[in-house]
Structure 1
Amino acid sequence: MRNQGWKINKKKVQRIMQKLSLQVTSFSRKSRKYSSYKGKIGTIAPNRIRRRFKTHIPHQKITTDTSEFKYYEVDVKGNVTMHKLYLDPFLDMCNGEIISFGIAKNPSVKNVMEALEKAIDITSDCPYRRIFHSDQGLAYQMKAYSSRLKKELILQSMSRKGNCLDNSVMENFFGLLKQEIYYGIVYYSYEDLKSAIERYIKYYNEQRIKERLGWISPVQYRLSLLPA
């Protein structure tokens, strides 16, 4: 409303919503969190971020993780089978923008590496040394992943084992996505779920406003930081 020129207090909006019985439907987590940790099989990078998530420099601090989604398929006999989809996004800690992502039917290093290449290219305009943060998942320990970062002089950072708070920025994004388009909704094909996630990421980046960004979207915030 402020972006449209309305001068209104947040508490007044809350009162109006209560009067009109407008409430957000909340869903709890339906299953355990997906974990790609398979033990120490490669490089374990130090935790360089150490929960210092804030930065005013776009494309300097990037984080990533993998999340799992379920969908269902019904055959001609009416039998229902459950399948899974995996999302690998790269998020800019400066404004919360998803700068690249991969979607696949199986957790794969290939999917992560393709999203990584896009993230490296997009963040190449950063005037400072970049940090790419993750957990200790299988793909992030692989030599291909760590070597690619070293080649670009990007510092690799990892959360401590079993400590999701070390990557809470990414966890918060997954929580929002699942709360707003996944929990309480049943998807009956891979393509439907994939399309819903792609649409949400576009909406999240370009339209979904954030209080910490001054009630503008991640893309609007990034553009506001560009020199006049």
Structure 2
Amino acid sequence: MYWQKLFDRANPNEDLEQRILEIRKENKDFGYRRIYGELRKQGFIVNKKRVQRIVQKLGIQVTSFTRKSRKYSSYKGKVGKVAPNRFHRRFETHIPHQKITTDTTEFKYYDIDDKGRMIIKKLYLYPFMDMCNREIISYGISQRPSAENIMNALNEAIKITSDCKYRRTFHSDQGWAYQMKAYSYKLKENKIFQSMSRKGNCHDNSIMENFFGIMKQEMYYGVVYYSYEQLKETIDNYMRYYMRNN
């Protein structure tokens, strides 16, 4: 009788599932985060994890994309000081602004050269994330790998996290920018521990890797961008959306 009653019970998520399907039909590149944001805009009071479970149940995760090139790597060998891995994949913390991680990723877009030919160019993104709540607290964007943009984003992240009562730790991979003397000195100057992933081990910074994967699923894969300005504006809009809804 218990199982019969269970099967006969009405689906409590029926209306929500129908609305999620409608949003997904109208926006084929929306993952559960953007569906959640759209539901909130429409006045639905719902938990993000509930939306994620329903999206998985309905089998409408964003999968219609392919990786067309190798992952960007900023590793150029030992060009400065390599810091120890202080996290060892212990990413969780209940203390805001205590554990910060960063990484660099690239996006491609098309442009026209002086001879009228279509060429591929790249845009680089440098976000800093709070491991406590996965909030992006600062970021930089440039058309080429830029120490200046990384330092600007770092300075903003240091300023925002200065309210932390505990000693902070900033984590990254062993990319050339994070080995710079200026980068290491700025952390040391502010009494911040520096931490680095082991060489060639993306799992040591899986939080940021996961963010890049979700972000590209939702606004990049399957879309062609024809200028730096167009791609940058889309990333800026996504960052604002992510920081509002995270």
- TM-score computed with the length of structure 2 as normaliser: 0.76
Does 1:37 find its partner at 2:81?
no
How far apart, in 2, do the equivalents of 1:93 and 1:53 lie? 6
Cα 1:15/1:23, change in 2 over 3 Å = closer
Cα 1:123/1:76, change in 2 over 3 Å = same
**1:15 CA displacement:** 9.7
How far apart, in 1, do the equivalents of 2:201 and 2:61 lie? 33
Helix, strand or coil: the match of 2:194? strand
Cα 1:12/1:88, change in 2 over 3 Å = closer
Does 1:68 find its partner at 2:106?
yes
State the percentage of identical aligned residues. 64
Does 1:96 find its partner at 2:130?
no
Aligned residue among 206, 210, 216 for 1:168:
206
Aligned residue among 88, 108, 111 for 1:50:
88
How far apart, in 1, do the equivalents of 2:166 and 2:110 lie? 45
Aligned residue among 190, 199, 209 for 2:237:
199
Whichever residue aligns with residue 91 of structure 2, its letter is F
- 1:77-96 matched pairs, under 5 angstroms: 78-96=116-134
Q: Which has the higher helix share?
A: 2
Does 1:137 find its partner at 2:187?
no
Q: Which runs of 5+ in 1 are unaligned?
A: 208-216, 218-228
Cα 1:10/1:147, change in 2 over 3 Å = closer
**1:88 CA displacement:** 0.5
Q: CA RMSD in A?
A: 2.4
Whichever residue aligns with residue 72 of structure 1, its letter is Y
How far apart, in 2, do the equivalents of 1:141 and 1:56 lie? 28
How far apart, in 2, do the equivalents of 1:65 and 1:24 lie? 23
Does 1:110 find its partner at 2:156?
no
**1:93 CA displacement:** 0.5
Cα 1:158/1:188, change in 2 over 3 Å = same
Aligned residue among 184, 189, 213 for 1:146:
184
How far apart, in 2, do the equivalents of 1:63 and 1:93 lie? 7
Q: Is the 8 A contact 2:125 2:141 kept in 1?
A: yes
Q: Which runs of 5+ in 2 are unaligned?
A: 1-15, 17-38
- TM-score computed with the length of structure 1 as normaliser: 0.82
How far apart, in 2, do the equivalents of 1:55 and 1:183 lie? 31
Corresponding position of 1:212: none
* Corresponding residue pairs, total: 204
Corresponding position of 1:190: 228
Corresponding position of 2:30: none
How far apart, in 1, do the equivalents of 2:160 and 2:114 lie? 45
**1:111 CA displacement:** 1.0
Q: Which has the larger radius of gyration?
A: 2
**1:122 CA displacement:** 0.4
